[in-house]
Amino acid sequence: MASNRGSLPFPPKVVGFSLAPPPNPIDQLKSLIERRDEAAKTLANIETEIDRLVSEESICGPNDLQDVENYDGTLGVSQAFVALHEPKIGQLQWLDDLASQFTAQGDNKGNVSGERWGSGGMISRDHFITAGHCFDRLDNGPDGWVCPKRGGQTVSSDEIAKLMRVNFKYQIDAATGSVRVPDSFPILGLEEYRLGGLDFAIVKLGANGDGDFPGDKYGTISLAATDLTVPGEILCVIQHPNGRPKEVEAGPLRDNIGGRMTYSSIDTEGGSSGSPILSIAGELVGVHTNGGCTRNPPGGFNRGVAVGVIRLASTII
């Protein structure tokens, strides 16, 4: 006879039992870092769109920009530094003959023919890094620019790139005070564009009329292995502000959070977008993308995207 156990049921038969392994703290940390970086990218994209609608570039206090060949060495980097690195910086410019390339029904050459558009730098024999928004498909946007159209449709970002050239040596000659004749190179294609939601692009350049490649002739910028993150570290931005001949500015890093570099005393203007942000070692630590000093004075700042997050997104660098 079975023993009387009252009203309680017999416990169920246990077939098997095991404890789940405790979470790996390293995996947890990696997951948190990934979530943080994704949130930072989302924030950067939102702020990029806000700034695009308000102000692309801005002067931070007094305008300290100087012509590269007349630089006096007072901004935080030496004259020798600028002389060494300025040849590697070029200017994006729309081709002059857009009207002849858009003649079919429904075509429109837009209003950008010959416009000096942005800045950038050589990172290999034929690769030029700049800002992604230089190749955005604009159609009467906040600044009034209209990109060319075929059959009533704005051309692709890849075709936009091919409708531009890159000019080197577009700068004031210190000896004569005149603008040098630029050395121009065709853009063969848009190799990378806004990968990972980041505002950068890499285009491939062809040879100039003499058969020279820009990286061979003017040198290339080395990419930093790690980001600059310590506030106060000196940055240099060699650029073509507002389409002008090449100029230089320098100043301290404000911060670098989630791959967004900010600086509150480095002047930029429209046309500065895409300029390499150089460290005191002459390495590329970021790409300038946006203004902001005049949007929220006195606490505003200009900013760019850091090389670390670009490396994560790019297959070229």
Is residue 2's pLDDT more than 80? no
Within-domain flag for 181: yes
Confidence class of residue 6 from pLDDT cuts 50, 70 and 90? Answer: very low
Instruction: Write out pLDDT tens, residues 235-264.
Output: 999 999 999 999 999 999 999 999 999 998
**Tens-place pLDDT, residues 192-206:** 999 999 999 999 999
Judge whether 254 and 269 are in contact, CB under 8 Å.
no
CB atoms within 10 A of CB 120: 29
Quote the domain boundaries for residue 120. 90-218
Tell me: do 98 and 161 sit in the same domain.
yes
pTM for this structure?
0.80
Quick check: bond before 298 cis, omega within 30?
yes
**Of 218, 237, 260, the domain-final residue:** 218
CATH number of residue 178's parent domain: 2.40.10.10
Q: pLDDT tens, 26-68?
A: 888 878 877 876 676 556 555 544 444 444 445 455 568 999 9
Task: State the chain's maximal CA–CA distance in angstroms.
Answer: 117
Average pLDDT of the chain?
A: 87
pLDDT in tens, 287-303: 999 875 644 545 566 89
Same domain, 238 and 193: no
Name the percent of the chain lying above pLDDT 70.
Answer: 81
- Is 16 part of a structural domain of the chain? no
Does one domain contain both 239 and 256? yes
307 and 187 both lie in a single domain: no
